[in-house]
Amino acid sequence: MILIIRPHYWACSVFMKFQPIDVSVVVITMNSVSGIERCLTSLRASGVGQIVVVDASSTDGTRKIAEQLADEVLTDPGTGVGYARNMGIAVTTKPLILNMGSDNVMPDGQLQIMIDCLESQDRQGVSAQTSIDGDDFVSKGLNAWRKGRFRPGPALVIGTPTLFDGELLRAKPYDPTRRFSDDSELCERWANDFGATFAISNAYVDEVGKSSWEEVVVRCRMYGISDEEIFRIGRASNWSPARQVKSLLHPARVDFIEPVTRLTLKDAVVNAPFLAAFTALRYGAWGRTTIRTKWGV
């Protein structure tokens, strides 16, 4: 048995060398039939100890598949991602909790890499890199975006798939009022409240069914809603002008500047049009959400 003395909240925790059987998985879904079976099957093959699906009244057969493969299926009332995640987290029983996207597929051995990263680096949360199998323009663009943006190492904010200390996540879960900015809010709150640290591991998780322009638009819409939510709440909490500017520039920095400057020259030139379109779509969604929120248009 290995004793890991954690500061502040988890100072008395006693940890063993964890394995996939020690992981509860929470998957939130809504009409995810294109990937849910492969997602849940891969988790079973990885040896996880518990699978909880939180479904937002899917109408495409997602729930039927989930009921066959998951340990428990809950109904999400549709009030936001934060609330849905908390529903699943509340019924988990294992020492570690993995938030998995319904479009993610866990390859053999990759979950253990995430577990080892969480333990060896004494982090409170770690994520995995994701990749799409495909040679078309969108698939190559998304992979270039990920390669440039989500690099292994310490990170201020991590996104799905994410592995957390289960006891801590159950005690201090997501803000249930957050529709899409749940990851940012939780990581920032934990870091501020008790010095939590996070990292992107060397693990790779496949992503399926998300390589069309329609799916890119949906992704950018969610990011834009998240941007508006974070900015609005931040301004209400008296952000400084410098902090507001930092938030306004965030999409351009993380979705265009960082990927372009971190890629090889050839990859940067080839994928710059996609990255520019992605950034523009995200800003467009942010603007539309701001108008609807402020004026109800």
**CATH class assigned to 8-209:** alpha beta
Q: Which two tokens stand for residue 258?
A: 């960082």
pTM of the model: 0.86
CA 277, distance to chain mean position in Å, is 22
> What Å distances lie between residue 285 and 23, 133, 204, 229, 290, CA to CA?
35, 27, 29, 12, 9
Give the domain ranges of the chain: 8-209, 215-295
Paired with 240 in beta bridges are none
Residues of the chain with confidence (pLDDT) below 50: 1-15
Q: What is the pLDDT of residue 297?
A: 61
Q: What is the pLDDT of residues 186-231, one digit of tens each?
A: 999 999 999 999 999 999 999 987 788 998 999 999 999 999 999 9
Q: What is the pLDDT of residue 10?
A: 40
Which residue in 203, 204, 222 sits closest to 81, CA to CA? 222
How far apart are the C-alpha atoms of 81 and 265, rounded to whole Å? 37
Q: What is the pLDDT of residue 69?
A: 96
